[in-house]
């Protein structure tokens, strides 16, 4: 037998040419129907929907999967940064959703936040550098290089999107900040977050091409960046592009930070997150490591899938 259906659902093996349903699964079907349940109830036996896209159009599919009792694993940030009602539907069965790779690739940021909260320790402040691209740019500018040259280098190294403005706008970091803020119970949307872009509106995609932005537009902000770096240095601080969540405040942008802080010592494309709570008040919980890349993201997704299997044993 390769498939079974009722008035609401259809269950089919993944390869009808070579496989059939196991007797044990057929017994599960019989028990479900004898008790008056739909075949849809059997979808909770270990099925997971994994979304590694970068599309917001998967939200409706994911909501249906949740409604059918499926688990979901996300590397895609957009479903978790949609409207608050859709978000609450997606996390309505929180034990069946994993999304570690949405923030910090494979770093255990989400898991750490959840464990601290589960222990009854309230988190009151999170600050983090959550963009490998912008982390690299900030540390290189601090070393004395021109902002325009550093961005061009980052693009040549493959650190940026094809149009670096996708990184420099800060929206990717804002989505990650929103995911963390919602984990802390903040019922906010993306447009509630203050986002500081690293380029002015007149250099935006609606005003000039990517080629013009790289060849002439970027250099127009070099002087401003040099002045900001110098001003921070005179105070014994460094510039970092960070997300900051504290109370009702959630913002993304440049911040002057102490040189000897975990974020101040950040070099290259690593991510760093500092979590402050009642227990981690004076010495924050710090998570640092590679926060970008296909391998680390894939490892995070795989770890989430493996973690879910414990629900079905």
Q: Which residues are annotated as a binding site?
A: 77, 161
Give the CA angle between residues 289, 168, 161 to the nearest 5°.
75
Residues 6+ apart with CB under 8 A from 307: 98
Q: Which residues carry a binding-site annotation for L-homoserine?
A: 161
Of 176, 237, 259, 281, the catalytic one is 176
Tell me the CA distances in angstroms from 287 to 12, 25, 129, 140, 242, one per residue in order.
43, 43, 10, 22, 14
Distance CA 224, CA 227 (A): 5
176 is annotated as an active-site residue? yes
Distance CA 142, CA 148 (A): 13
Q: Which residues carry a binding-site annotation for NADPH?
A: 77
CA 70, chain centre distance (Å): 21
Q: Is the dihedral of CA 77, 81, 86, 89 positive or negative?
A: positive
| Residues belonging to the active site | 176
């Amino acid at each position: 037998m390769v498939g079974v259906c009722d008035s609401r659902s259809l269950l089919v093996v993944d390869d009808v040419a070579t496989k059939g349903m196991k007797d044990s699964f057929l017994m599960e079907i019989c028990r479900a129907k004898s008790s008056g349940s739909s075949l849809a109830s059997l979808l909770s036996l270990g099925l997971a929907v994994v979304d590694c896209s970068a599309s917001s159009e998967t939200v409706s599919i994911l909501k249906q999967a949740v409604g059918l009792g499926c688990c979901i694993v996300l590397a895609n940030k957009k479903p978790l940064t949609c409207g608050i009602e859709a978000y609450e539907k997606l996390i309505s069965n929180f034990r069946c959703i994993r999304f570690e790779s949405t923030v910090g690739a494979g770093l255990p940021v989400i898991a750490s936040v959840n464990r601290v909260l589960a222990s009854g320790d309230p988190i009151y402040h999170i600050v983090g550098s959550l963009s490998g691209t912008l982390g690299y740019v900030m540390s290189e500018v601090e070393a004395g290089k021109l902002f325009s040259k550093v961005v061009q280098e980052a693009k040549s190294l493959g650190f940026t999107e094809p149009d670096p403005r996708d990184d420099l706008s800060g929206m990717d970091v804002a989505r990650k900040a929103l995911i963390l803020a919602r984990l802390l119970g903040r019922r906010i949307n993306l447009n509630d977050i203050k986002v500081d872009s690293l380029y002015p509106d007149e250099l935006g995609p609606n005003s000039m091409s990517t080629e013009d932005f790289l060849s002439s537009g970027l250099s127009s902000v070099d002087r401003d960046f040099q002045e900001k770096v110098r001003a921070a240095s005179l105070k014994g601080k460094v510039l970092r592009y960070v997300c900051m969540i504290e109370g009702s405040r959630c913002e993304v942008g440049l911040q002057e930070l102490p040189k000897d802080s975990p974020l101040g010592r950040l070099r290259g494309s690593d991510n760093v997150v500092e979590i402050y709570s009642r227990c981690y008040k004076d010495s924050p919980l710090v998570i640092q490591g590679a926060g970008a890349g296909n391998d680390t993201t894939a490892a995070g997704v795989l770890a989430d899938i493996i973690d879910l299997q414990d629900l079905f044993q």
